[in-house]
Amino acid sequence: MSPTTDRIAVVGGSISGLTAALMLRDAGVDVDVYERSPQPLSGFGTGIVVQPELVHYLLEQGVELDSISVPSSSMEYVDALTGERVGSVPADWRFTSYDSIYGGLYELFGPERYHTSKCLVGLSQDSETVQMRFSDGTKAEANWVIGADGGASVVRKRLLGIEPTYAGYVTWRGVLQPGEVADDVWNYFNDKFTYGLLDDGHLIAYPIPGRENAESPRLNFQWYWNVAEGPDLDELMTDVRGIRLPTSVHNNSLNPHNLRQFHSKGESLFKPFRDLVLNASSPFVTVVADATVDRMVHGRVLLIGDAAVTPRPHAAAGGAKACDDARTLAEVFTKNHDLRGSLQSWETRQLQQGHAYLNKVKKMASRLQHGGSFEPGNPAFAFGLPKVDEPSVVTNS
Amino acid sequence: MSPTTDRIAVVGGSISGLTAALMLRDAGVDVDVYERSPQPLSGFGTGIVVQPELVHYLLEQGVELDSISVPSSSMEYVDALTGERVGSVPADWRFTSYDSIYGGLYELFGPERYHTSKCLVGLSQDSETVQMRFSDGTKAEANWVIGADGGASVVRKRLLGIEPTYAGYVTWRGVLQPGEVADDVWNYFNDKFTYGLLDDGHLIAYPIPGRENAESPRLNFQWYWNVAEGPDLDELMTDVRGIRLPTSVHNNSLNPHNLRQFHSKGESLFKPFRDLVLNASSPFVTVVADATVDRMVHGRVLLIGDAAVTPRPHAAAGGAKACDDARTLAEVFTKNHDLRGSLQSWETRQLQQGHAYLNKVKKMASRLQHGGSFEPGNPAFAFGLPKVDEPSVVTNS
C-alpha cells in the first residue's frame, strides 16, 4: 500500500525524532521537524553503546559501522577503590557517541525541514489536525504530531501533566582526548566496557570515536553519585549565578565548589579511574530521572522514545528503544492499511517493551548504586532491549 | 536595655535585608548578610514610590531626600487608548529607584560582612543555633536567621514549602533617558504619577532619579498585561534559548517575537504612552505573583518582607512593608527585655499589616486589570501601608 498523505510534524529533533522523520520522508510523507534548540544539537561527547536499533537507519543508508564506532572485546568488573578484578566477560560491543549518531542523521535530513528555535508552548487537536504553538510566536499545523522531545517532554507534559521523577542519583560525565592520560591508563580502558563498582554509586568507562576521526578514539566515563533530594541536590544543581537548574549543570557554569568535590572524591579511587576524573577537561553533571506513561497514542499526538517512557541509562538501550519506537511508528504510517488499528497494536507492543525496559534498568540501578551483587555476565543485566511477546505490527511487504 | 549578644544572619541582601542588618549592626549586634547573587544587586532601573518606611533609615543617616528622589504634584488618571482625562488629584509623592535605595544602603553597609554568591540550599536549627548551607559548599551558623530573600524565598520554601502563585498577569518595565522621547511627551509624564487605564490591563508612568544625578530624571513605566497561564504565559516566558524562565525575562534574552508583540500592541495606545513603549531601549517582562504565610516566626528563623507576604505592587508600598518588618524586627532585638514575647507581638502586628496590604493590592488589581471603576482619589486605593490596630511592640526608650 502507499504511505499516508497526511502531513506529519515531529516535535523534537534529536535521534529518535530524526529517525522517524527520515523514514517518513524516504517513504514520501510530508514531514517537518521542530526543534527547541536554536542550533543543531550537541551531546557534549556523551558515549552510547551501539544497539542494532540505534544504527539500523544509518547502516541502511550505507554508513559504515567502522566510521561511527569503535570496538571492544570484553566487559570488565572492577572494584573502583581497590582495583580488584571482580570478573571479566568476553563481549564484542561497539561504542559510538551522541554526536556521531545525531550528526549522521542530521546530515541526511538536512536543515530545510529542520526548524530550530521552535520551543513548543501549546498543543491542541481536533478530528483532522493538530495545532502547535511555539515560543517564537509562530504556529504550525499537521495531521499528526510525533512527540519526540525527550525526557523533559513538553508534549507529554501538555497531554498528561507528567514530568520525570528524580531517581535519587546524578551522573557526572567526562571525556578524555588521547594524551590526556598516560598510556597505561588509556590501555586499561581501551577495547573494553569497564564497570567501576562502589558501595555507594558506580562508574563506567569505555572508548568512543574521535570527534574528527573515528579511528582516533576518546575515552568516555560516567560516575553515578547518590545525592539526596533537598539541600544536597540543590547544592549540586545550583550554578555559579545562583540559579537552581532542573536537569544539567554544564562545566562552564558549575559551582567551583562542586568541581572541587568531584576532584577530591576522585582522589580516593583506584588509579585508572582517578586519572579519568582528575584529567577530564570539562566534566558536567546531570540528574537521573524516570517517567512513564500508559498510553503513547493520544488522538493525533503520538509519544515516542524518552518522551513516552524515560528510562535510566544502565542497560545502554534508551536510544535503541527510542529508535525502535520511531522506526516502527514510521512503518505504521507507510506500510499499513488500517492506520488506527495498527497504531493500537504499535502502542501495545512499544509500551510493553518500554515498561519492561524501565523495570530492567531500575533493577540494575538498585544493585549498581547500592553495592548490591552485580554478577559479571548475568543475563538479567545484559545490555539491550528486553524481548517482548507481541509481534511487530508491521509486515515488511 | 542592651542589644542581643546573639549572632544574627540575614539571608537575602536586598533592601529589607540590608535595612535589618544596618540597624542591628548600628546597635552593636554581630550580623552577616548572605546574598545569592555573585555581585551587588541591580534593579534594572525599576522605579519605587517613596513611602516613609522605605527611606526611614537612609534619612536617619543624613541622606537628603532630594539626592535620591524626584517630586510630583499630582496623580493623573487617563484612558490609555483615547487620552481622555478621567481625573486628576493633587499629590506630593516623591519617586526613587531601586538602585538609589539599594545603592545607598549597600554603601553604608559595605562589602565586608556582605557575602555574595551565597545561595541558600539548606537550613536546620536546634535550640541554640541555625545552621545554613550554601550552594558554594560553605556553611554558616548563627543564633537567628532573618529570611529576607524576597518573593521567591528559599527560606520560606524550606520552612513551609510555600511558593508564589501566579496572579494572572505580567508587567513589562521600561526606562527612558532624557532625549529618548520628545519634550511634550516628557512633560506629559514629568512631575506626576500617571495611570493609563485600559479594559484589559493598565499602565503606570512616573519620573525617577537619574542614574548619576538625581536632578536629571529618567521616565519609568510599567504595562500590566493579563496573560493566561499555559501556552500564552509559556510563550512569553520562554527565552531565546528555549528555556522557560520562572520569574523574569530580561531584555537581552527576550524572544524577538515577544518584543515585536510588545511594540505592536503599543501602537494602539494614546501617543504619550505609545512613545514610552516604542522608545524604551531595554524593556523586560516579569510575572506578578502572590504568596502569604500565617507565621513569620519559626523557631529561630524569622521571615520578613516579600519572603513572608509577597504582595502585588499596586499600592506602592511593598518595599515599605519590607522595611517596616526589618526596622521593627531590629528593634525587637535591640530594645526589648522579653525577646520571645516581643517576637510574638511583632509577628502579630506585622502579619496583620502584611495580610491587610495583600488584600488591598488584590482589590486594586481586580479593578485595574479588568477595566473596573478606579475612582481618582478613592482612599481605598491610596498608596501606602494600611493602618493596623496593633501598636508597635517597640518602645523607643
pLDDT tens string B60-111: 999 999 999 999 999 999 999 999 999 999 999 999 999 999 999 999 999 9
The CB-side HSE value for A143 (13 A sphere, CA atoms) comes to 11
Comparing A65-79, B113-127, B231-245, the range with the smallest average pLDDT is: B231-245
> Residue B397 pLDDT more than 80?
no
CA distance A117 to chain B (A): 7
How far is residue B236's CA from residue B232's CA, in Å, rounded to a whole number? 6
- CB-based contact, A261 to chain B, within 8 Å: yes
How far is residue A59's CA from residue A288's CA, in Å, rounded to a whole number? 30
Query: pLDDT > 90: what percent of chain B?
Result: 85
How far is residue A90's CA from residue A71's CA, in Å, rounded to a whole number? 12
How far is residue A143's CA from residue A373's CA, in Å, rounded to a whole number? 50
- CB-based contact, A36 to chain B, within 8 Å: yes
More reliable by pLDDT, B311 or B230? B311
User: Which residue, among B241, B141, B13, has the nearest Cα to A253 in the 3D structure?
Assistant: B241
User: Which residue, among A229, A231, A285, has the nearest Cα to A259 in the 3D structure?
Assistant: A285
Return the pLDDT at B223.
Answer: 98
A121 interaction partners in chain B (CB closer than 8 Å): 231, 234-235, 238
Which H, E and C letters describe chain A, residue by residue?
A: CCCCCCEEEEECCCHHHHHHHHHHHHCCCEEEEECCCCCCCCCCCCEEECCHHHHHHHHHCCCCHHHHCEECCEEEEEECCCCCEEEEEECCCEEEEHHHHHHHHHHHHCCCCEECCCCEEEEEECCCCEEEEECCCCEEEECEEEECCCCCCHHHHHHHCCCCEEEEEEEEEEEECCCCCCHHHHHHHCCEEEEEECCCCEEEEEEECCCCCCCCCEEEEEEEEECCCCHHHHHHHECCCCCECCCEECHHHCCHHHHHHHHHHHCCCCHHHHHHHHHCCCCEEEEEEEECCCCCEECCEEECHHHCCECCCCCCCHHHHHHHHHHHHHHHHHHCCCHHHHHHHHHHHHHHHHHHHHHHHHHHHHHHCCCCCCCCCCHHHCCCCCCCCCCCCCCCC
How far is residue A262's CA from residue A277's CA, in Å, rounded to a whole number? 8
Residue with grid cell 510523507, as numbered in its chain: A29
DSSP H or E segment with residue B172: strand B165-176
- In one letter, which amino acid is A355? H
> For residue B389, what pLDDT band results from cuts at 50, 70 and 90?
confident
The answer to whether B25 is a known ligand-binding residue is no
Domains of chain B: 6-62+96-162+288-368 (3.50.50.60), 75-91+166-287 (3.30.9.60)
Contact A257 B38 (CB under 8 A): no
How far is residue B106's CA from residue B261's CA, in Å, rounded to a whole number? 37
Contact B240 A117 (CB under 8 A): yes
Query: CB count, 10 Å around CB of A339?
Result: 13
Burial of residue A211, with CB atoms counted within 10 A of its CB: 0-12 exposed, 13-18 middle, 19 or more buried: middle
Q: How do residues B263-307 score in pLDDT, each as one tens digit?
A: 999 999 999 999 999 999 999 999 999 999 999 999 999 999 999
The answer to whether B322 is a known ligand-binding residue is no
Residues contributing to the annotated binding site of A: 14-16, 35-36, 49, 120, 306, 316-320
> For residue B393, what pLDDT band results from cuts at 50, 70 and 90?
low
Residue count of chain A: 397
Query: Averaged over B304-322, what is the pLDDT?
Result: 96
Residue count of chain B: 397
Interface test with A, best of B235, B259, B262 (most A CBs within 10 A): B235
Each residue's pLDDT tens digit in chain A (397 positions)?
567 889 999 999 999 999 999 999 999 999 999 999 988 888 777 899 999 999 999 999 999 999 999 999 999 999 999 999 999 999 999 999 999 999 999 999 999 999 999 999 999 999 999 999 998 889 999 999 999 999 999 999 999 999 999 999 999 999 999 999 999 999 999 999 999 999 999 999 999 999 877 778 999 999 999 999 988 999 999 998 888 899 999 999 998 889 999 999 999 999 999 999 999 999 999 999 999 999 999 999 999 999 999 999 999 999 999 999 999 999 999 987 899 999 999 999 999 999 999 999 999 999 999 999 999 999 999 999 998 876 665 544 3
Q: Which three cell numbers stand for residue B99?
A: 538602585
Helix axes B52-60, B318-335, angle to 10 degrees: 50
A257 interaction partners in chain B (CB closer than 8 Å): 135-138
A296-322 burial code (b ≥16 CB/10 A, e <16): bbbebbbbbbbbbbbbbbbbbbbbbbb
